Chains A and B, each alone.
Chain A
Amino acid sequence: MSLKSNLHNLKEKYKGTKMAPAFNAIHTFLYLPNDTTHGGTHIKAADDLKRTMNIVIMALVPCLIFGIFNAGYQHFAAIDAAKGMVTEASLFGNFLTWDNFVVGSWTVLPLVIVSYGVGLLVEFIFAIIKGHEVEEGYLVTGMLVPLIVPVDIPLWMLSVAVVFGVVIGKEVFGGTGMNILNPALTIRAFLFFAYPTWMSGDKVWVHEAVARTGTPDAISGETLLGAYAQNSTLPNIDLMDMFFGYIPGSVGETSKLLIIFGALFLIFTKVGSWRIILSTLIGALSMGLIFNGVVDAGWIGESSKFYGLMSIDFWQHLFIGSILFGAVYMATDPVTASQTNKGKWIYGFLIGFISIMIRVFNPAYPEGVFLAILLMNVFAPTIDHYVVQGNVKQRQKRIKVKTA
C-alpha cells in the first residue's frame, strides 16, 4: 500500500473524531484528497490554494538560500572590516563558501524551523477547535517571516510574535482568506514595536554584532539605509553590491537580482499581480523624485537630518532597503490587497509613495515598507468600494443619457 492510501485509511478511521482535521491536513498537504465533490460545483481547477502557495514558496527559495550565504558572508566581512581589511565581494571567490554556508545555516535555519513549527502548531490547534481542514495559508507566511527579520533575533521573541501574528492577524478574523492584515507583516510589526532594540539600530543586522558589543572583537552591523539616515554612507559598497545583495539587511531581502527573478516568476505564473508590483515601484520613484526636487530647489540643506536620504538619486531607493521585496512578495498578497484592477494601481502606488515617505521622515527607524503595506492593507477594501461605486455611477449615467 502506498503512503497515499495509508493516509486515506487513517482519515477514514479517525472520521468524526476531534483529531480528524490534523490527519486530513497531512493528507491534503501531500496529496490531492480522493473525495468526490458533494455540493453543486463539479469543476475543479488545478491552481488551488495549495498550488498558489507553493509557487510563491518556490519564488522565495532563492532568496532564502542567498540569505543563508549572505548571513555568513556579512559576519566574516564585518570581522575583517573591524581588523581594517576591506572585503571585495565575489560570487565564487568569497561568497559561496563552505564557511559562509555553515555560519549562515546555523543562524538562519533555526528561524525557519521556529517560524514553521510554531505557526503550523497554532494552525493545527485552531483547525481542531474549529473542526475544519487545516488551511494552507501559513505556508507562505512561515517562509516570509524568517526572510524579513534580522539574523540574530532571539528565537523565543520570534515564537511569541508568530503566535500573535497568526492568532490576532488571521485566526480571529476567521482564518486564511478572511484576514485584513498580512500575517507576516503583522509578525514583523509586533516584533518591531515590542522589542525595538532587536529590530533596528546599527548592530542587529550582522550575526554576532550584538553579542560582541563592548568587547575588543566588536564589529559593525549597520545597514546602508541606517547610514544614509544619519547623513553618512558605508564605505566599500557600490551599486553592484546593492544590486546583487552583498549588503547587510534583513535575512532575505538584500538581493535585488533574485527578487527580480522571483517577481518575473510570479508574474509569469499569474500568481502575483504585475499591476501592484509596477505601481508600487512607480509610487516609490515618484516620491523619490519629489524629494530630489526638494533638494535641488535648495529647500533642504546639508545640515538637515533628512538630507542623507533625500539627496540620493530617486532610482537608488529601489536598491536600498526592502521596497522591492515588499512590493513583490508582500504587497501582492491576494487576500489583503485590493481586488479591482483600478484599485490595485491606487493601492500599489500609495504603498510605494508612503514607503519612501516614512523611510525619509521617520527619525527612529529608516525603513517604512512594512508600515506602508500594513496601512494600505487596512485601506484596500475602502479603495475597492470607491472603485466599484465609481463604476456603478458611470454606468448609471450611461443609462440616463440613453433614456433621455
Chain B
Amino acid sequence: MAKDSKLILDPLADNNPITIQVLGICSALAITAQLKASIVMTISVLFVMGIGNVVMSLIRNIIPSKIRIIVQLTVVAALVIIVDQVLKAFSYQLSKELGAFIGLIITNCIIMGRFEAFALGNGPWRSFLDGIGNALGYGVILIIVGFFRELLGSGTLLGYQILGDPIAKTGLYSLGYENNGFMLLAPMALIVVGIIIWVQRANNPALIEEN
C-alpha cells in the first residue's frame, strides 16, 4: 500500500514530469497565460491519463508490441476527442480560447511516456494511480505558472480583477502599478518554470545531477 501511494506522491515533487523529467514543456508554455486555461488543461489531462493508462494496462497483453504505438495513439485520440466534445458542448467559450491545445494533448509527451514506461508493464489499478499522479504533477506546475502569469501579467485571477481596474485606475493601479506585459509572452513561462526548477533543486540537493 505504501508503494501505491508513492505512485501518486512521487510525480508531485521529486519525480515531477515537468520540472524533473522535462516532459510536456510545450503546453506549459502555451496555455498558462491564464489560470483558468491551466486548470481546464489539468482536468483534461487528468481524465485522459487516468482512463488511458487503465485501458492500455487492460489490453497490454493482447496487443502485438510491433503496433503498440499506433494502438496507444488511437486510445489517446479517442479520449481527447471526448474531452474536446464535452468542452464544446458545455463550455464553448473556453474551448475556443484553448483552441488547438486540447487536440494537442495527443502529442503531450507525458501521456505516451507513461503508457510506454508504466502502463504496458503494470496492472490496471497501479496504472491508474500512476496516470493520476503524473497528471497531477503536471497540473501542479501548470497551475503555479498560470497563477503567477495571470496575476502579474493581467492583474486578474480566474478573470476577477483582484489588483484593481487598470483602466479606471483603482486599487494598486492608482499607485502607478502597471501590468507586466512580458508575463503574457511565452519566454516568461519558460523563465517561471526555470525558477520553479531552481527553487525545487535548492530545497532538495539530491535532485542535482553530478556532471
Report how far A261 CA is from B198 CA in the complex, Å: 43
**A196-B181 in contact (CB<8A):** yes
Number of A-B residue pairs with CB-CB distance less than 8 Å in the complex they form: 22
A195 & B198 in contact (Cβ 8 Å cutoff): no
Which label, helix, strand, loop or mixed, suits the secondary structure of the B interface? helix
Cα distance A194–B183 in the bound complex, in angstroms:
7
A194 touches B181 (CB 8 A): yes
Within the complex, the shortest CB–CB distance from A364 to chain B, in Å, comes to 12
Query: Does B191 touch A at the CB level, under 8 Å?
Result: yes
B205 sits at the interface (CB 8 A): no
**Chain A contact residues: helix, strand, loop or mixed:** helix
Q: Is the CB of A193 within 8 A of B176?
A: no
| A residues less than 8 Å from B180 (CB atoms) | 160, 194-195
Who on chain A is nearest to B202 by CB? A129
Contacts of A172 in B (CB 8 A): 194, 198
Cβ-based interface call for B160 (8 A) = no
**Do A195 and B181 have beta carbons less than 8 Å apart?**
yes
Query: Which residue of chain B has the shortest Cβ distance to A196 in the bound complex?
Result: B181
Which of A168, A193, A197 neighbours the largest number of chain B CB atoms within 10 Å of its CB?
A193
Residue of B176, B185, B191 touching A156 (CB-CB under 8 A):
B176
- Which residues on B sit within 8 Å (CB–CB) of A193? 181-182, 185
A138 to B176, CA, bound (A): 28
| A198 proximity list for chain B (CB < 8 A) | 178
Interface set of A (CB-CB < 8 Å, partner B): 154, 156-157, 160, 168, 172, 190, 193-198
CA distance A1 to B178 in the complex (A): 51
Contact between chains at B178 and A157 (CB < 8 Å): yes
- Chain A residues lying within 8 Å of B176, measured Cβ to Cβ, are 154, 156
13 residue pairs bridging A and B, Cβ less than 8 Å apart: A154-B176, A156-B176, A160-B180, A168-B191, A172-B194, A172-B198, A190-B182, A193-B181, A194-B180, A194-B183, A195-B180, A195-B181, A196-B181
In the bound complex, CA of A200 to CA of B180 (Å): 15
8 Å CB interface, B106-134 against A: none
Cα(A156)–Cα(B177), bound, Å: 8
Which 8 A-B pairs give the minimum distances between C-beta atoms?
Answer: A194-B182, A193-B182, A194-B180, A194-B181, A195-B178, A154-B176, A196-B181, A168-B191
Residues of chain A contacted by B177 (CB below 8 angstroms): 156
Complex CA gap A168/B180 in Å reads 16
